[in-house]
Amino acid sequence: MIELQNVSKWYGQFQVLAECSTRVGKGEVVVVCGPSGSGKSTLIKTVNGLEPVQQGVVVVDGVRVTDPKTDLQKLRARIGMVFQNFELFPHLSVRQNLTLAQVKVLGRSPEEATEKGLKYLDRVGLLAHQDKYPAQLSGGQQQRVAIARALAMDPVAMLFDEPTSALDPEMINEVLDVMVGLAQDGMTMMVVTHEMGFARKVADRIVFMDHGRIVEDSPKDAFFTAPTSDRARDFLARIL
Ligand code: ADP
Ligand code: MG
Protein backbone atom coordinates (compact mmCIF):
# COMPACT_ATOMS: atom_id res chain seq x y z
CA MET A 1 0.00 0.00 0.00
CA ILE A 2 2.89 2.35 0.85
CA GLU A 3 6.34 2.02 -0.64
CA LEU A 4 9.42 4.18 -0.18
CA GLN A 5 12.42 3.49 -2.39
CA ASN A 6 15.75 5.17 -1.62
CA VAL A 7 14.19 8.39 -0.43
CA SER A 8 16.65 11.18 0.28
CA LYS A 9 16.05 14.77 1.25
CA TRP A 10 18.28 17.70 2.08
CA TYR A 11 17.74 21.08 3.67
CA GLY A 12 20.59 22.95 2.05
CA GLN A 13 23.69 20.97 3.03
CA PHE A 14 21.91 19.07 5.78
CA GLN A 15 20.67 15.62 4.83
CA VAL A 16 17.48 14.95 6.74
CA LEU A 17 16.64 11.64 4.99
CA ALA A 18 19.28 9.29 3.62
CA GLU A 19 18.25 6.51 1.22
CA CYS A 20 15.22 5.45 3.20
CA SER A 21 13.40 2.39 1.90
CA THR A 22 10.50 0.57 3.51
CA ARG A 23 7.04 -0.65 2.72
CA VAL A 24 3.70 -1.03 4.45
CA GLY A 25 1.52 -3.78 3.03
CA LYS A 26 -2.26 -3.57 2.95
CA GLY A 27 -3.56 -4.05 6.48
CA GLU A 28 -0.10 -3.78 8.02
CA VAL A 29 0.89 -1.58 10.94
CA VAL A 30 4.41 -0.19 10.90
CA VAL A 31 5.68 1.77 13.89
CA VAL A 32 8.43 4.31 13.26
CA CYS A 33 10.61 5.23 16.23
CA GLY A 34 13.99 6.76 16.96
CA PRO A 35 15.57 9.72 18.68
CA SER A 36 14.25 13.25 18.38
CA GLY A 37 15.51 14.87 15.19
CA SER A 38 16.18 11.55 13.44
CA GLY A 39 13.77 12.36 10.61
CA LYS A 40 10.61 10.47 11.62
CA SER A 41 8.18 13.33 10.95
CA THR A 42 9.89 14.17 7.69
CA LEU A 43 9.74 10.54 6.58
CA ILE A 44 6.07 10.07 7.34
CA LYS A 45 5.18 13.33 5.58
CA THR A 46 6.85 12.15 2.39
CA VAL A 47 4.11 9.51 2.17
CA ASN A 48 1.41 12.06 1.37
CA GLY A 49 3.71 14.53 -0.31
CA LEU A 50 3.67 17.07 2.52
CA GLU A 51 7.47 16.86 2.35
CA PRO A 52 8.84 16.85 -1.19
CA VAL A 53 12.03 14.83 -1.69
CA GLN A 54 14.98 15.34 -4.00
CA GLN A 55 15.68 11.66 -4.59
CA GLY A 56 13.81 8.40 -4.51
CA VAL A 57 10.32 7.19 -5.18
CA VAL A 58 7.22 7.12 -2.98
CA VAL A 59 4.19 5.11 -4.12
CA VAL A 60 0.86 4.92 -2.30
CA ASP A 61 -1.85 2.57 -3.53
CA GLY A 62 -0.27 2.53 -6.96
CA VAL A 63 0.02 6.33 -7.19
CA ARG A 64 3.49 7.84 -7.51
CA VAL A 65 3.58 10.58 -4.90
CA THR A 66 6.97 11.71 -6.17
CA ASP A 67 5.77 12.16 -9.75
CA PRO A 68 5.39 15.91 -10.35
CA LYS A 69 2.27 15.19 -12.41
CA THR A 70 0.47 13.57 -9.49
CA ASP A 71 -2.42 15.57 -8.08
CA LEU A 72 -1.32 15.75 -4.44
CA GLN A 73 -4.58 17.32 -3.33
CA LYS A 74 -6.48 14.32 -4.60
CA LEU A 75 -3.95 11.90 -3.14
CA ARG A 76 -4.06 13.51 0.32
CA ALA A 77 -7.82 13.14 0.41
CA ARG A 78 -7.24 9.36 0.39
CA ILE A 79 -4.59 9.25 3.12
CA GLY A 80 -5.63 10.10 6.67
CA MET A 81 -3.11 11.99 8.76
CA VAL A 82 -3.22 12.66 12.49
CA PHE A 83 -0.66 14.98 14.05
CA GLN A 84 0.61 15.64 17.53
CA ASN A 85 -1.46 18.78 17.99
CA PHE A 86 -4.98 17.68 17.02
CA GLU A 87 -5.41 20.42 14.41
CA LEU A 88 -9.17 20.59 14.53
CA PHE A 89 -10.76 23.75 13.15
CA PRO A 90 -11.34 25.77 16.37
CA HIS A 91 -14.23 27.81 14.99
CA LEU A 92 -16.23 24.77 13.86
CA SER A 93 -18.28 22.38 15.97
CA VAL A 94 -17.25 18.76 16.19
CA ARG A 95 -19.93 17.83 13.65
CA GLN A 96 -18.78 20.55 11.25
CA ASN A 97 -15.17 19.42 11.66
CA LEU A 98 -16.24 15.92 10.68
CA THR A 99 -18.19 16.92 7.58
CA LEU A 100 -16.32 19.86 6.03
CA ALA A 101 -13.72 17.97 3.97
CA GLN A 102 -16.18 15.24 3.01
CA VAL A 103 -18.39 17.88 1.39
CA LYS A 104 -15.68 20.20 0.01
CA VAL A 105 -13.15 17.64 -1.13
CA LEU A 106 -15.15 14.48 -1.81
CA GLY A 107 -18.32 16.26 -2.94
CA ARG A 108 -20.60 14.33 -0.61
CA SER A 109 -23.98 15.73 0.28
CA PRO A 110 -24.22 17.28 3.75
CA GLU A 111 -26.61 14.50 4.79
CA GLU A 112 -24.28 11.73 3.69
CA ALA A 113 -21.29 13.47 5.26
CA THR A 114 -23.11 13.91 8.55
CA GLU A 115 -24.20 10.29 8.63
CA LYS A 116 -20.67 9.11 7.95
CA GLY A 117 -19.07 11.57 10.36
CA LEU A 118 -21.38 10.61 13.19
CA LYS A 119 -20.79 6.93 12.54
CA TYR A 120 -17.08 7.43 13.20
CA LEU A 121 -17.70 9.84 16.06
CA ASP A 122 -19.72 7.08 17.67
CA ARG A 123 -16.91 4.66 17.02
CA VAL A 124 -14.46 6.82 18.97
CA GLY A 125 -17.02 7.11 21.76
CA LEU A 126 -17.89 10.80 21.37
CA LEU A 127 -21.31 10.90 19.73
CA ALA A 128 -22.73 12.91 22.64
CA HIS A 129 -20.20 15.71 21.95
CA GLN A 130 -21.16 16.50 18.34
CA ASP A 131 -22.35 20.05 19.05
CA LYS A 132 -19.34 21.07 21.13
CA TYR A 133 -16.38 23.12 19.93
CA PRO A 134 -12.82 21.77 20.14
CA ALA A 135 -11.92 24.04 23.07
CA GLN A 136 -14.69 22.40 25.10
CA LEU A 137 -13.06 18.98 24.74
CA SER A 138 -10.04 17.46 26.48
CA GLY A 139 -6.90 16.84 24.46
CA GLY A 140 -7.66 13.13 24.29
CA GLN A 141 -11.17 13.81 23.05
CA GLN A 142 -9.90 16.27 20.44
CA GLN A 143 -7.45 13.70 19.16
CA ARG A 144 -10.21 11.09 18.92
CA VAL A 145 -12.31 13.57 16.90
CA ALA A 146 -9.30 14.14 14.64
CA ILE A 147 -9.08 10.38 14.08
CA ALA A 148 -12.82 10.15 13.36
CA ARG A 149 -12.53 13.06 10.93
CA ALA A 150 -9.74 11.29 9.05
CA LEU A 151 -11.66 7.99 8.97
CA ALA A 152 -14.77 9.67 7.57
CA MET A 153 -12.80 10.28 4.36
CA ASP A 154 -12.53 6.50 3.81
CA PRO A 155 -8.73 6.60 3.65
CA VAL A 156 -6.67 3.79 2.10
CA ALA A 157 -4.10 4.29 4.87
CA MET A 158 -3.65 6.28 8.05
CA LEU A 159 -0.51 8.16 9.09
CA PHE A 160 0.04 9.14 12.71
CA ASP A 161 2.83 11.46 13.87
CA GLU A 162 3.26 11.14 17.63
CA PRO A 163 -0.51 11.31 18.21
CA THR A 164 -0.23 10.99 21.98
CA SER A 165 2.89 12.95 22.83
CA ALA A 166 1.06 16.22 23.52
CA LEU A 167 -1.47 14.53 25.80
CA ASP A 168 -1.63 14.32 29.57
CA PRO A 169 -0.75 10.78 30.67
CA GLU A 170 -4.28 9.86 31.68
CA MET A 171 -5.53 10.58 28.15
CA ILE A 172 -2.97 8.59 26.24
CA ASN A 173 -4.73 5.26 26.52
CA GLU A 174 -8.10 6.46 25.24
CA VAL A 175 -6.38 7.49 22.01
CA LEU A 176 -4.20 4.37 21.80
CA ASP A 177 -7.27 2.19 22.34
CA VAL A 178 -8.92 3.75 19.28
CA MET A 179 -5.74 3.13 17.28
CA VAL A 180 -5.49 -0.47 18.46
CA GLY A 181 -9.10 -1.01 17.34
CA LEU A 182 -8.29 0.43 13.93
CA ALA A 183 -5.26 -1.80 13.57
CA GLN A 184 -7.26 -4.86 14.54
CA ASP A 185 -9.89 -3.94 11.95
CA GLY A 186 -7.21 -4.14 9.27
CA MET A 187 -6.42 -0.48 8.61
CA THR A 188 -3.07 0.12 6.93
CA MET A 189 -1.14 2.31 9.35
CA MET A 190 2.22 4.04 9.64
CA VAL A 191 2.64 5.34 13.17
CA VAL A 192 5.43 7.48 14.58
CA THR A 193 5.31 6.83 18.31
CA HIS A 194 7.38 6.01 21.35
CA GLU A 195 4.51 4.05 22.87
CA MET A 196 6.14 0.66 22.79
CA GLY A 197 3.13 -0.98 24.47
CA PHE A 198 1.12 -0.02 21.40
CA ALA A 199 3.91 -1.30 19.15
CA ARG A 200 4.07 -4.63 20.98
CA LYS A 201 0.33 -5.05 20.72
CA VAL A 202 -0.36 -4.28 17.06
CA ALA A 203 2.77 -3.50 15.04
CA ASP A 204 3.80 -5.88 12.30
CA ARG A 205 7.17 -4.21 11.86
CA ILE A 206 9.24 -1.57 13.61
CA VAL A 207 11.29 0.95 11.68
CA PHE A 208 14.05 2.54 13.73
CA MET A 209 15.59 5.78 12.46
CA ASP A 210 18.79 7.53 13.39
CA HIS A 211 20.33 10.59 11.73
CA GLY A 212 17.96 10.38 8.75
CA ARG A 213 18.62 6.71 8.09
CA ILE A 214 16.46 3.68 8.58
CA VAL A 215 18.95 1.64 10.57
CA GLU A 216 16.53 -1.14 11.40
CA ASP A 217 13.32 -2.43 9.78
CA SER A 218 12.39 -5.60 11.58
CA PRO A 219 9.41 -7.71 12.54
CA LYS A 220 8.19 -6.62 15.96
CA ASP A 221 9.42 -9.63 17.88
CA ALA A 222 12.88 -9.48 16.38
CA PHE A 223 13.13 -5.77 17.16
CA PHE A 224 12.21 -6.16 20.82
CA THR A 225 14.16 -9.31 21.54
CA ALA A 226 17.26 -8.79 19.43
CA PRO A 227 17.71 -5.34 17.86
CA THR A 228 20.55 -5.57 15.40
CA SER A 229 21.92 -2.05 15.82
CA ASP A 230 23.60 -0.61 18.92
CA ARG A 231 21.57 2.55 18.42
CA ALA A 232 18.27 0.71 18.65
CA ARG A 233 19.50 -1.25 21.69
CA ASP A 234 20.45 1.99 23.48
CA PHE A 235 17.14 3.57 22.51
CA LEU A 236 15.11 0.65 23.83
CA ALA A 237 17.14 0.54 27.04
CA ARG A 238 16.30 4.19 27.64
CA ILE A 239 12.58 4.12 26.94
CA LEU A 240 11.51 0.70 28.21
P1 ADP B 1 11.83 13.79 14.23
O2 ADP B 1 10.40 13.80 13.84
O3 ADP B 1 12.46 12.45 14.22
O4 ADP B 1 12.07 14.47 15.56
P5 ADP B 1 12.15 15.66 12.04
O6 ADP B 1 11.78 14.90 10.82
O7 ADP B 1 11.15 16.60 12.58
O8 ADP B 1 12.66 14.65 13.16
O9 ADP B 1 13.46 16.51 11.76
C10 ADP B 1 14.66 15.89 11.32
C11 ADP B 1 15.76 16.92 11.23
O12 ADP B 1 15.49 17.84 10.20
C13 ADP B 1 15.96 17.73 12.50
O14 ADP B 1 17.35 17.86 12.72
C15 ADP B 1 15.33 19.04 12.19
O16 ADP B 1 15.95 20.08 12.89
C17 ADP B 1 15.56 19.16 10.69
N18 ADP B 1 14.53 19.96 10.02
C19 ADP B 1 13.20 19.70 10.05
N20 ADP B 1 12.53 20.61 9.30
C21 ADP B 1 13.47 21.47 8.81
C22 ADP B 1 13.42 22.62 7.97
N23 ADP B 1 12.26 23.09 7.47
N24 ADP B 1 14.58 23.24 7.67
C25 ADP B 1 15.76 22.75 8.14
N26 ADP B 1 15.89 21.68 8.94
C27 ADP B 1 14.75 21.04 9.27
MG1 MG C 1 8.72 14.44 14.82
Range of the domain at 120: 87-155
pLDDT at 2 over 80: yes
Q: Is residue 45 part of a domain?
A: no
Closest ligand 1 atom to the C-alpha of 34?
Answer: 3
Q: How far is the CA of 212 from the centre of ligand 1 (A)?
A: 9
pLDDT at 208 over 80: yes
Q: Give me the pLDDT at residue 236, please.
A: 87
Ligand 1: residue of 7, 9, 10, 11 to mutate (most ligand atoms within 8 A of CB) is 11
| pLDDT, the chain, mean | 95
Residue 196 pLDDT level (bands cut at 50, 70, 90): very high
Q: Give me the pLDDT at residue 238, please.
A: 85
Residue 228 pLDDT level (bands cut at 50, 70, 90): confident
pLDDT at 240 over 80: no
Q: Is residue 78 part of a domain?
A: no
- Which residues have CB atoms below 5 A from the ion given as ligand 2? 40-41
Burial of 61 (0-12, 13-18, 19+ CB in 10 A): middle
pLDDT at 226 over 90: no
Query: pLDDT tens digit string along 158-194?
Result: 999 999 999 999 999 999 999 999 999 999 999 999 9
> What torsion, rounded to 10 degrees, do the Cα atoms 8, 12, 15, 19 define?
10
**Which ligand is nearest the CA of 50, by number?**
1
Residue nearest to atom 15 of ligand 1 (CA): 37
Residue 88 pLDDT level (bands cut at 50, 70, 90): very high
How many folded domains does the chain comprise?
Answer: 1
Query: pLDDT tens digit string along 14-64?
Result: 999 999 999 999 999 999 999 999 999 999 999 999 999 999 999 999 999
Q: Is residue 46 part of a domain?
A: no
Binding site membership of 193 for ligand 1 (Cβ less than 6 Å): no
pLDDT at 157 over 80: yes
Binding site membership of 102 for ligand 1 (Cβ less than 6 Å): no
Q: Which residues contact 42 (CB under 8 A, 6 or more apart)?
A: 9, 16, 17, 51
Contact between 117 and 98 under an 8 Å Cβ cutoff? The reply is yes
Residue 120 pLDDT level (bands cut at 50, 70, 90): very high
Q: Is residue 132 part of a domain?
A: yes
Q: How far is the CA of 14 from the centre of ligand 1 (A)?
A: 10
Residue 239 pLDDT level (bands cut at 50, 70, 90): confident
Whole-number Å distance between alpha carbons of 187 and 175: 16
pLDDT at 86 over 80: no
Query: pLDDT tens digit string along 62-85?
Result: 999 999 999 999 999 999 999 998
Q: Is residue 117 part of a domain?
A: yes
Q: Is residue 144 part of a domain?
A: yes
Q: Is residue 141 part of a domain?
A: yes
Residue 123 pLDDT level (bands cut at 50, 70, 90): very high
Binding site membership of 46 for ligand 1 (Cβ less than 6 Å): no
Q: Is residue 18 part of a domain?
A: no
